[in-house]
Amino acid sequence: MDPLRIIETLYRKHTRAYRILVRHGQQVAAKALSVAGRMAHLGPDTRFIQEAAMLHDIGMIFTRAADLGCRGRYAYVCHGHLGHQFLVRHGLRDHALVCERHVGVGLSAAEIRRRRLPMPVRDMLPVSLEEQIICYADKFYSKNAAGDGKPKSIEQIMTELNRFGREKAARFETWAKQFGDR
């Protein structure tokens, strides 16, 4: 499976959205594969990690995110769920789960309900090792037009996550220790 061919069914090449999505996917894939290399004793599926990391934000095109070149009708927080729907329709169920479960280090049904997020009320938390690795790697890179490629520090990520609740930062910190970055 070629992730770029899947991306190109939704995104026109050479657009801002395409460039940002592909660059971000490459950054996340590189970090995720580095982490997977340190976790080789657990047997992570590196081909799947490469593919899913490239596709994890594919749903952003359906959202209102002008700074990313996206002029959809949904709130950005929905990009994971919308990417999930798209990839399921293309027969990529496991890849679709990564889309849905990576947002904000994962969303619980209780959080979706409490925050009144515009998406189905169900747990959208990373479960598999591969999902956790990609979700973890995603936090190191922002999607933006500048795309300087510099990863965020663990401290920066923890500060950002703390704004959404201590449990989010704690989940990320657990991964940082488990994946050898702490």
Q: Which helix (H) or strand (E) holds 70?
A: strand 70-71
Q: Which residues pair with 71 in a beta bridge?
A: 64
pLDDT in tens, 75-123: 999 999 999 999 999 999 999 999 999 999 999 999 999 999 999 999 9
* 3-class DSSP state of 58: helix
pLDDT in tens, 35-53: 999 999 999 999 999 999 9
180 band by pLDDT with thresholds 50, 70 and 90: confident
**DSSP structure class, residue 116:** T
pLDDT in tens, 120-162: 999 999 999 999 999 999 999 988 766 567 899 999 999 999 9
* 3-class DSSP state of 146: coil
Question: What structural domains does the chain harbor?
Answer: 3-178 (1.10.3210)
181 band by pLDDT with thresholds 50, 70 and 90: confident
